[in-house]
Amino acid sequence: MYKILQKYFGYTSFYPLQEEIIKEVQRQRDTFVLMPTGGGKSLCYQLPAILFDSLTVVISPLIALMKDQVDGLLANGVPATFINSSLSYKEINVRRRSLSKNEIKILYIAPERLVMPEFLQFLQGLKVSLFAIDESHCISEWGHDFRPEYRQLKLLKDRFPGAPIMALTATATPVVQEDIITQLKLSDCKVFKASFNRGNLYYQIKLKDEPYHQILQYLEGRKNDSGIIYCQSRKTVESLAASLQTAGYRALPYHAGLSAEVRTESQEQFIHENVEIMVATIAFGMGIDKPNVRYVIHYDLPKSIEGYSQETGRAGRDGLKSDCILFFSYADRVKIEYFIEQKKDENERQVAYKQLRELVNYCESNVCRRKLLLDYFGERFDEPNCGSCDVCLEPKERFDGTIATQKILSCVYRIGERFGINYVIDVLQGSKKNKKVLQNRHDMVRTYGVGKEYSKSQWQSFIRELIQLGYLRQEGDKYPVLKLNKKSWEVLLRTERVFLAKAEEPHYIPPSETGEVYNRALFELLRSLRKTLADQEAVPPYVIFHDTSLKEMSTYYPRNLQDFRRINGVGERKSDKYGDVFLKEIIGYCKQYNIAPKQAIHKRRELPKKQMKSSTVQETLALHKQRLTINEIAQKRGLALSTIVSHLEKLILDGEDVSLDNIVDREKQERIRRSLKELGVKVLSPVKEKLGNDYSYGEIRLVRAKMMCEAK
Ligand code: ADP
Ligand code: ZN
């Protein structure tokens, strides 16, 4: 297995579960593989296919993808082919003949063609070692992408009782999973579920005020990176694409209103890297296998959490750091509510409201984005700091918000738990403008006008957080009203203190910078070399090498074929075919700039995934190791102090070698420890209060992290 992994794919280790899955397949067992996008599903059937002595049939609904996948396999020296409606009758016959001669290891085919009686008969005449059913959720009516032609795949088990079936999907709902297994009649099937955490994705919500300029700012310095910008309407798609073109970006529009030819053409342009940016409605994306999509931007609010995670999932399949940015505004929310109102069907309306509420909660939350997403799909995520979302990297400071909370709760109580957020705030602020307040005589309640110390948006933020923390609940979909619960009373009766995020006016969070260690200039040279070769061979650039490989080349500067072979993603075939041209480019570059090869190349194999993932954190670590103070690091990197603290906190929690003594005075550490032990580690405000102004939150957090690590 390892030999084949290295020889054909150029990898030295498996992704989680791949090895276990492949072993089960070799035992002829049916398997069900649930992995997120980018989890490495294809290898699970491609590798055993090479090991088996007869044919592996891969069933996929995405005809457009088959050619690229086959090209990818051929480039690695694996005999593969596809049969679909894009081929002439004559060409199909040629391919059938080589199948009959057992010259092919892997055949890609669409379900409707596979189940044609004549074709089934033909296949039965060959020996099939394995059926791999990609996108297998298409068989289930419960899923989001039901395709009737998948239903017929039921007959595989009866017609080919000897061949194991592997069903693969990235759809996480349990009902669908159950349905797939039943429909395909998988027997004694072994189920594999990978974590859906996409560690290389950075999640960020931005308040949408001037989105076009915000996008331009983001794109600055990313001219060569591929990305998708999702918009809600065709009109926005057209106008944004046009504006970006005018601004000098290679961008194309994509939506269902364009003809099929135009859409296919645009998709090709994107995959072949003739354009970098797709501005699209959600019509775009299914079947986009492009591994190096570096960012997915939601210009408008997505439809649901599920949609959002599918769309963002298209970023960073290759495991390299990529950004998922969502622009959120209340105006958008109101617009969507308006659309929901237009829906005739009451049921549909309810569902849409629920989806909107979940999404808005996600955007407004002060809880780690990753945690919320994983929670949504039923996976637990307990790390205190994920290190790769805006909430974790720019945590808001908290304060003792007990009084503010009491004001809110008692106001809700006094006006009879019958009003929504904004009404409550109007009462708190003693609004004279809201006529309803006066009509209802709520200017007479005790809490009228007691909340002038905070702005409206601050009160909104407090209330939203209280809802999330479970001190208040919202009832009703269209005009949700605030209600109290058991937890509310614990605060009202003064037994519990509440800590809230300080609600400042929103500040700009810098986009995640690429603190990766590779040589950007060389990377660009290699990228353009790759593009030239790809165009010559009429394949997408990623078929030649993935970005991961180019980045490693620009990190380790291999000088000979032996070193070249050590680069991740360089197998035998590719090293033979491309080694010389790439080495020439690299060596030339190194000569010109006097760069010595890195000795560490033999270590490349151990390059931990983590290091690749959050290189910005690694950069902080590197500077810390050079004995720079936190302040100096912050200054040097142009990042907020709190960001550097979060980095160090994460590093400590990851067990990295951070010497706290250089950051926090020994004596101070001791006092912080004592206070944490006394007052608990969960909420830091009481600790901070006790210690006084000589101690910063940052210092307390770092000591806490160290303590947690020791306790592990
Ligand atoms: P999925 O189909 O689950 O979305 P893919 O099969 O496309 O995922 O794999 C995602 C990426 O990970 C691809 O770029 C692939 O080449 C790479 N990959 C898969 N397995 C490995 C491995 N064991 N080592 C390194 N890279 C891998
Ligand atoms: Zn997080």
The finding on whether 318 has its CB within 6 A of some atom of ligand 1 is yes
Distances (CA, A) of 229 to 242, 300, 402: 13, 9, 41
Give the torsion sign (CA, 266, 277, 520, 387).
Answer: negative
The finding on whether 42 has its CB within 6 A of some atom of ligand 1 is yes
What is the residue with the minimal CA distance to atom 18 of ligand 1?
A: 40
Tokens 């929310």 correspond to: 333
Distance CA 99, CA 55 (A): 8
Minimum-distance ligand 1 atom for the alpha carbon of 36: 3
Query: How many DSSP H helices and E strands does the chain contain?
Result: 35, 17
98 C-alpha to center of ligand 1: Å? 28
Other Cβ atoms less than 10 A from the Cβ of 130: the count is 24
The finding on whether 290 has its CB within 6 A of some atom of ligand 1 is no
38 C-alpha to center of ligand 1: Å? 6
Reduced to 3 states, what is the DSSP secondary structure of residue 202?
strand
Q: How far from chain centre, in Å, is Cα 7?
A: 30
| Bridge partners of residue 55, in order along the sequence | 128
The finding on whether 40 has its CB within 6 A of some atom of ligand 1 is yes
Which residue, among 550, 545, 577, has the nearest Cα to 561 in the 3D structure?
Answer: 577
Q: What is the pLDDT of residue 711?
A: 63
Other Cβ atoms less than 10 A from the Cβ of 342: the count is 7
Distance CA 327, CA 509 (A): 13
Tell me the pLDDT tens digit for each residue of 117-149. Answer: 999 999 999 999 999 999 999 998 876 778 888
> Which of 2, 4, 37, 42 is the best mutation target for the ligand 1 pocket, counting ligand atoms within 8 Å of the beta carbon and taking the most?
42
Q: Domain spans of the chain?
A: 2-193, 201-393, 398-501, 520-592, 615-711
In which element (H, E) is residue 119 found? helix 117-125
What is the residue with the minimal CA distance to atom 19 of ligand 1?
A: 40
Reduced to 3 states, what is the DSSP secondary structure of residue 203?
strand
Reduced to 3 states, what is the DSSP secondary structure of residue 32?
strand
Distance CA 297, CA 124 (A): 47
> Which ligand gives the minimal distance to the CA of 392?
2
The finding on whether 546 has its CB within 6 A of some atom of ligand 1 is yes
DSSP symbols for 341-370: HH---HHHHHHHHHHHHHHHHHHH--S-HH
The finding on whether 407 has its CB within 6 A of some atom of ligand 1 is no
Residue pair 453/401 in contact (Cβ under 8 Å)? The answer is no
Architecture of domain 520-592: Orthogonal Bundle (1.10)
CATH number 3.40.50.300 given to 2-193: yes
Pairing assessment for the beta strands 31-34 and 481-483 based on DSSP bridges: unpaired
Tallying the residues shown for the chain, one arrives at 712
Distance CA 164, CA 128 (A): 9
The finding on whether 192 has its CB within 6 A of some atom of ligand 1 is no
Give the torsion sign (CA, 650, 655, 656, 661).
Answer: positive
469 C-alpha to center of ligand 2: Å? 17
Distance CA 463, CA 474 (A): 10
Distance CA 533, CA 578 (A): 9
> Which of 318, 543, 548, 567 is the best mutation target for the ligand 1 pocket, counting ligand atoms within 8 Å of the beta carbon and taking the most?
318
Helix axes 456-469, 402-414, angle to 10 degrees: 90
Distance CA 507, CA 458 (A): 14
Reduced to 3 states, what is the DSSP secondary structure of residue 200?
coil
What is the residue with the minimal CA distance to atom 2 of ligand 1?
A: 41
Helix axes 520-537, 572-593, angle to 10 degrees: 140
Minimum-distance ligand 1 atom for the alpha carbon of 568: 25
664 C-alpha to center of ligand 2: Å? 25
Can you name the CATH fold of 201-393?
Answer: Rossmann fold (3.40.50)
CATH class of 398-501: mainly alpha
Give me the amino acid identity at 286.
Answer: M
Which residues are placed with Cβ below 5 angstroms of ligand 2, an ion?
368, 370, 386, 389, 392
Minimum-distance ligand 1 atom for the alpha carbon of 318: 14
Residue pair 501/457 in contact (Cβ under 8 Å)? The answer is no
Contacts with 181 (C-beta within 8 Å, 6 or more apart), sequence order: 32, 167, 189, 191
Minimum-distance ligand 1 atom for the alpha carbon of 5: 23
Contacts with 50 (C-beta within 8 Å, 6 or more apart), sequence order: 4, 8, 78, 105
> Which ligand gives the minimal distance to the CA of 367?
2
The finding on whether 11 has its CB within 6 A of some atom of ligand 1 is yes
Q: b/e for 366-387, b at 16 or more Cβ within 10 A?
A: bbbbbbbbbebeeeeeeeebbb
Which residue, among 605, 617, 396, has the nearest Cα to 507 in the 3D structure?
Answer: 396
For 615-711, the fitting CATH number among 3.90.400.10, 2.40.50.100, 1.10.10.1390, 1.20.140.10 is 1.10.10.1390
Helices (H), 131-253: 148-151, 155-159, 174-183, 211-219, 234-246
Tell me the pLDDT tens digit for each residue of 673-704. Answer: 998 888 877 677 888 888 988 888 889 989 98
The finding on whether 371 has its CB within 6 A of some atom of ligand 1 is no
Ranges under pLDDT 50 in the chain:
505-515, 600-613
Distance CA 400, CA 409 (A): 15
Domains 398-501 and 615-711 share a fold: yes
299 C-alpha to center of ligand 2: Å? 21
The finding on whether 41 has its CB within 6 A of some atom of ligand 1 is yes
Q: How many CA atoms lie within 13 A of 694 on its CB side?
A: 9
503 C-alpha to center of ligand 2: Å? 19
Q: What is the pLDDT of residue 614?
A: 61
The phi and psi torsions of 598 (rounded to 5 degrees) equal -85, 130
What is the residue with the minimal CA distance to atom 26 of ligand 1?
A: 11
> Which ligand gives the minimal distance to the CA of 393?
2
